[in-house]
Structure 1
Amino acid sequence: MRSRRDFLKFSALSSAALLTPTLQSFSFAGKRKGNKPLMISTWNHGFGANAAGWEILENGGSSLDAVEAGVRVPEADPNERSVGYGGLPDRDGKVTLDACIMNHEYECGAVAFIEDIMHPISVARLVMEKTPHAMIVGEGAKQFALDQGFKSENLLTEKSKKDWEEWLKKSEYKPVINIENHDTIGALAIDAKGHIAGACTTSGAAYKMHGRVGDSPLIGAGLFVDGEIGAACATGLGEAVIRTAGSAMVVEHMRNGKSPAEACEMAVQRIMHTHKNKMENLQVGFIAINKDGEYGGFSIRNGFNFAVVDTAKGNRMEDAEFKIKW
């Protein structure tokens, strides 16, 4: 599978306990059983996220700390064009970010439409831990971040600015998510104590309308964690995920006895049914884990992959199964 990222730069993040990380993609049907602790993250940038998160998990740290540390890696990477610093802007040239985080006790926090803050996932965690709210947006979210010690930074890199200026010549908005246009990073982990947590962060759809918010910061859509059952997160066209409460649906299917892979496939089928007249170029994918350490992923179309790390096989990429070939 082609990749728009050079994974080798993440090798330094891997510890000896990761064994020998491999960039080869695996694809196999049926249940996927991991060894706890376990971490799974969407897309190619999940490989570096897993390496950072695993340093916490292998030392007995919490799943919540692991997913936060993991997704901070692409948030700070100027070459990552769909998350955080370096993310492609909206049609007004503004980089606006969305993020949420959730633990095994149903505690959650989110920020949306926040500007100039490098790590929205860490702001989301403080919303969860230091406020009575679940979500803060826009200028309020930025002010909260500044009050908590975050600094205001310009997140629009020269490369992203040039791409935006080129886009302005035609101003055609095409929200197509495929193997060369990745978006959200979502991460799920289960730690040695069996506690599950998840995180999701994004700069959203490139050249979106100013003010648009997708599924990534919405608990139940872009991410959902049930400490008694498991967790799921979504990637792809956010509007389609929002309309179907996608991640919550995946978790409910697991509650009813489905494996993570089966639950992801059922959520994908639901989205395809509800969008049967809007299927052109539609791509949505899910990943999920359960309390037993099983994991899985499924997408509408091919091209969706995810990273998995555990004690048995180290950090590796796997391809999600899918319904439709591009």
Structure 2
Amino acid sequence: MGVERPWATASGMADEQAGRPMSVDTPLRVASNTKTFVAATILRFWERGLIDLDGPIAQQIDPLFNALLAAAGYRTERITVRHLLNHSGGLVDHTDDPEFFATVSREPQRLWTREEQVRLGAKFSAPLSEPGTRFSYSDTGYILLGDIVERISGTTLAAAVRREMKFDRLGLTSSWWEISEPQPPHSQPRARQFFGDVDATGISASMDLYGGGGLVMSVRDLATFFAALFEGHVFDSPDTLREMLSQGRHEGAHGYRLGMAVETVGGAEVYSHLGFWGTAAYYAPAQGIAVAGFAIRREARDTLVSVIRQLLAAEGWHG
């Protein structure tokens, strides 16, 4: 049975204490879904000749970050922008350091800086692999990409992503970058989000702000953006999307491209990204379908992903 498009549904409460129901326009922190936006912004710079994806990051990141990484054994003259985008630079993920989440739990209102997080990653581990040889997911790498975006654009990461990803033109009226931008007028209050029994809603956004995460948006806005990205409304040239979806030669390259995961669902290739708190966005090129979903509890994310995959694999969604 086919489903009328566009189609949306919501259930449950965005804020049970306030008696506020969830809707498809309720904003939530999307965490690592932000990486797709950062990667696409870098690709926008690439298509205009402002950055070399295969150029080393040594001269493109803050000199302090370069010094911190070099002191920890990272060969930044061999790590490229592309390596950061597809997580093959051998960079550690600073969030894997138990000290990070212990500090977040102990000091939820602590204001983290980009420098502190890069420093934490550099201190936590030496390189995990030689650049360009193996996939290893790294929030720290995307923090460096956020720094590169700011250095190229001459403005904040939030402003650059908003402009390059055409938020206003696409009508993303329930999307903003926490701390860096005010909440858009007339958008709904942000939903509460939980990690186990912990209400994580009030944790400072600075824990995940600088490129690996940072965006708040509604499920409608996230699906709208994924459709626009794949359907020619973000990049100037279709070659740019092909570059974004190009597969590297490193170990593990089959599952992740430049800011985008890839898998086979129902016999067809689909592209996606997930967010830590319970968010997911998918695009199925064969069907021309964008699907996004949110769960307010982190442990429900696997169920959400399963439902989305079932929808995309269902016979009624083909053709």
TM, length-normalised to structure 2: 0.28
Please say which structure displays the higher CA radius of gyration: 2
The structure that is strand-richer by fraction is 1
More helix by share: 2
TM-score (normalised: structure 1): 0.28
